[in-house]
Every structure is written in structure tokens, then in C-alpha cells.
């Protein structure tokens, strides 16, 4: 190659380099201008640097409250129900090993990390109940970090109010205790009277539900259900003890009153058989049992595919109840929500909600940020001093002394 050819090659290379540099500069300038003009490009991820620094469990009467703290001073609260609170606190302290230093806004990741951490404890009620409370607290933190109610993070509200019970126009009556297999006319008649009295109390424009509580054996339940058809019961709750889907299928084939269950079933895997076998009309997951807000939202979506609404079960205080209400606010297929207020579960002031129930039995949506519940730790000692607020293992039995379901 002669000198002229070499010079031409160098000139072309220099020209290409100059053009490339100019193009790169133009692209950088353009991107900078676009970022400046695009608000989304300037939004700071306020959760990126959050880290969990502590997890503390508190026995509060028969419940356990979980408090998660972060390096940014944002605190989240959750509630465990249906479990010895001393056991719940100890298990939560053990689970902190999996949460320490983690980003609390990675809620799904942390749920999976806890639930699947030990192959021999996966899906157990003790583990899942405690995870439920931790999950609530993580959602509480995340909502506070973004300054919005949790239901905004779940897709936004699908309704303006949430129907609850018990109220003057929506009541649930129960069995009055375990019943034997006999189903004698006098026993069936006594249960039917409970439903009739409830219907008379709320009128034809009110709602009546019946909680079988797994305490009415299937043969007697079939007799009873056929007798209450004239009273238009919204649903019979817990028609059978969970564990054998064939029992639920047999009851569904024999009973025309809608059947509801789910409070003793956990996660999407526990609910799926009812839907696949068309054995239930209404699902009743409990946010404090089933895996928290994360699982309850998934259960609602699963049920939606089968056109089955949720009527969430809840025996939490205002803390866990409000967590469940955030899910109810965000799902399309919803029927009615169990909600015990006025100190029924926990003395007033321990967990302070910011929503109200109107005269028609409809609750307003929780206000944010987070769950929208203030917890007063100074009242824990007072609650624990009440001898009526001590967890005791139930001992249900039949008149002959045999153990029974209740």
C-alpha cells in the first residue's frame, strides 16, 4: 500500500471516529433531555435501600403481634391468630434468620424464602400462620415507603365500600356446640329454630348465615340443610372437617343451600381442590391463617376463574382485620366480610383502625399509608394481665366423653 492509499484509509477512520463520537454525544444529549422531560425517569425507587433490621414478636392476650423494623425507621405490623401466641413469638424469632438484612419490599421473594425454607415444615399451620403476620407487616412497610394504602399496591380499589357482618341487617348463627351423629328430630328442630329466629330478627331484606363449624356430622347436616331452605340462608359455613374432598362433594350433591369454607385451609394449594371439584360455592380464606395478604390475593384470583366469590373469615383484631380488608377492597368477586369490632377481639385502642362502618353495614376503605393501623405497645401489658386473655387448648367432647370436632 502506497502513502496516498494509507493516508486515505487514515482519513476515513478519523472521519468515522468523529462521526461516531458526534452520534454518541447526540444520543447522550437526547437521552438526557428525555429523562428530564419524562417524570417516570426521575422517580426514585424509595424501597431499593430499605433493609430489615429487627423482627419482634409480642404476646397480646390470645394473639401475637409482629413488629418489623427497618434501617429507614419505617415499621410494619402483623397479627397471628389461631395459634398459641408463645409458640408464634418463638417461631418468628427463629424465622428472623431468613429476613435479617433483606429488603422488606421484596414481599413475594421473602414469602417464598420462608415458606419453602424447610422441606419438612412447608405448609404446616404453625409456620403458615406466622408467615401470615410477617407478610402483613411487609405490606405495611411497603405501603408506608410509597405513601399509599396497601390496596393501591394490589391493583387499586374495585369497590367504594366493603359489606361486613355482624350488623343489624347481617347476622350469623351457629350450632350451639358439637352435635352427635344421631340427628334426632328434636336436635334438628333446635338448629332450624336458630335460623328462623335470625331471619325474623333481620327481616326479609336482611342476611342470615349459618356456621356449622365442622360440628354437625354430615348425615345430620343434610337433614338440617333441607329444613332451612325456606329461610333463604346466604351460606352454610364449614359444613365438614377439611381433609377429605369426597365428603364435601357428597354434601354438595345433597344440599341446595350454598356452602362456604376455607378458614382452616391454607394457601392456594389448600383451596384448589374445592374449586376443581366444584364442591364449594364460596371461599372463606382467613388472612391470619392462609399466608397473609399475598396468598389471600392469589386465592381470590384463583376463585375468580371459577366464578366463586370470597367471604373472608376473620377472627383477628383490628390489625389483622384491616389487612384482610385491603384485599377485599382490591378483588372483583367479593360477597361479605366477617368483622368483629367494639373490643370483641382486642380491647379498644390496642390497634386503632381508621375506617368506619355505616348504618347499612358497609365499611369505608382503609386509609393509608400502609395498613393504616396504629398499634399502641403500651397497652400490651394491660391486655396480658387479663386472666380471660390467656390462650388455652380447647377440649371439645360429646356427652359420652368422647373427643369431637367443634
Whether residues 317 and 365 share a domain: the answer is yes
Whether residues 136 and 179 share a domain: the answer is no
Distances (CA, A) of 306 to 275, 285, 300: 7, 16, 10
Predicted pLDDT of residue 343: 87
For residues 275-302, give the mean pLDDT: 98
Average pLDDT score over the chain: 91
Predicted pLDDT of residue 10: 46
Predicted pLDDT of residue 81: 94
**pLDDT confidence of 109, banded at 50, 70, 90?**
very high
For 87, the domain range is 52-148
Position 252 in a domain = yes
Among 116, 148, 180, give the residue marking a domain's end.
Answer: 148
- Among residues 213, 289, 326, 337, the one annotated as catalytic is 213
Predicted pLDDT of residue 40: 55
Whether residues 224 and 238 share a domain: the answer is yes
**Count of domains observed in the chain:** 2
Whether residues 317 and 206 share a domain: the answer is yes
Q: What CATH number corresponds to the domain at position 227?
A: 3.20.20.120
Whether residues 272 and 349 share a domain: the answer is yes
Whether residues 177 and 284 share a domain: the answer is yes
Whether residues 171 and 216 share a domain: the answer is yes
Predicted pLDDT of residue 337: 98
Whether residues 58 and 202 share a domain: the answer is no
Residues 6 or more apart whose CB falls under 8 angstroms from that of 134 comprise: 55, 66, 68, 78, 92, 95, 99, 110, 114, 292
Position 360 in a domain = yes
Task: Look at residue 350 and tell me whether its pLDDT is greater than 50.
Answer: yes
Predicted pLDDT of residue 9: 47
Whether residues 263 and 132 share a domain: the answer is no
Among 100, 133, 148, give the residue marking a domain's end.
Answer: 148
Predicted pLDDT of residue 30: 56
Predicted pLDDT of residue 254: 96
For residues 227-234, give the mean pLDDT: 97
129 as an active site residue: the answer is no
Whether residues 139 and 172 share a domain: the answer is no
213 as an active site residue: the answer is yes
- Among residues 129, 179, 289, 313, the one annotated as catalytic is 313
Q: What CATH number corresponds to the domain at position 117?
A: 3.30.390.10
Whether residues 157 and 289 share a domain: the answer is yes
Position 161 in a domain = yes
**pLDDT confidence of 177, banded at 50, 70, 90?**
confident
Predicted pLDDT of residue 134: 98
Amino acid at each position: 500500500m502506497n502513502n496516498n492509499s494509507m493516508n486515505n484509509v487514515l482519513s476515513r477512520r478519523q472521519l468515522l471516529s468523529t462521526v461516531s463520537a458526534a452520534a454518541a454525544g447526540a444520543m447522550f444529549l437526547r437521552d438526557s433531555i428525555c429523562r428530564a422531560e419524562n417524570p417516570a425517569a426521575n422517580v426514585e425507587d424509595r424501597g431499593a435501600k430499605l433493609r430489615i433490621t429487627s423482627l419482634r414478636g409480642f404476646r397480646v392476650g390470645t394473639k401475637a403481634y409482629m413488629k418489623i423494623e427497618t434501617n429507614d425507621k419505617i415499621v410494619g405490623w402483623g397479627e397471628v391468630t389461631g395459634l398459641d401466641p408463645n409458640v408464634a413469638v418463638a417461631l418468628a424469632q427463629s424465622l428472623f434468620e431468613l429476613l435479617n438484612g433483606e429488603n422488606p419490599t421484596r414481599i413475594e421473594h421473602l414469602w417464598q424464602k420462608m415458606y419453602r425454607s424447610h422441606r419438612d415444615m412447608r405448609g404446616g399451620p404453625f409456620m403458615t400462620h406466622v408467615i401470615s403476620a410477617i407478610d402483613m407487616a411487609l405490606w405495611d412497610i411497603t405501603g408506608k415507603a410509597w405513601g399509599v394504602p396497601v390496596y393501591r399496591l394490589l391493583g387499586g380499589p374495585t369497590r367504594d365500600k366493603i359489606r361486613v357482618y355482624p350488623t343489624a341487617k347481617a347476622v350469623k348463627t351457629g350450632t350451639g356446640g358439637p352435635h352427635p351423629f344421631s340427628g334426632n328430630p328434636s336436635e334438628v328442630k333446635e338448629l332450624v329454630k336458630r335460623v328462623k329466629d335470625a331471619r325474623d330478627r333481620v327481616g326479609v331484606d336482611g342476611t342470615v348465615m349459618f356456621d356449622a363449624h365442622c360440628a354437625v356430622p354430615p348425615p345430620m347436616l343434610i337433614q338440617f340443610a333441607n329444613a332451612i331452605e325456606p329461610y333463604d340462608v346466604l351460606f352454610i359455613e364449614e359444613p365438614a372437617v377439611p381433609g377429605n374432598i369426597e365428603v364435601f362433594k357428597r354434601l354438595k350433591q345433597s344440599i341446595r343451600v350454598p356452602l362456604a369454607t376455607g378458614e382452616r385451609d391454607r394457601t392456594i394449594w389448600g383451596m384448589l381442590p374445592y374449586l376443581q371439584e366444584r364442591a364449594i360455592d364460596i371461599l372463606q380464606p382467613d388472612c391470619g391463617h392462609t399466608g397473609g395478604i399475598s396468598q389471600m390475593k392469589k386465592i381470590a384470583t384463583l376463585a375468580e376463574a371459577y366464578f366463586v366469590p370470597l367471604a373472608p373469615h376473620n377472627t383477628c383484631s383490628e390489625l389483622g382485620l384491616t389487612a384482610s380488608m385491603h384485599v377485599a377492597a382490591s378483588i372483583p368477586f367479593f360477597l361479605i366480610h366477617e368483622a368483629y369490632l367494639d373490643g370483641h377481639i382486642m380491647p379498644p385502642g390496642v390497634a386503632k383502625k381508621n375506617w368506619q362502618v355505616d348504618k347499612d353495614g358497609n365499611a369505608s376503605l382503609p386509609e393509608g399509608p400502609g395498613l393504616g393501623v396504629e398499634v399502641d405497645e403500651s397497652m400490651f401489658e394491660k391486655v396480658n394481665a387479663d386472666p380471660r386473655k390467656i390462650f388455652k387448648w380447647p377440649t371439645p367432647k360429646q356427652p359420652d366423653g368422647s373427643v369431637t370436632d367443634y
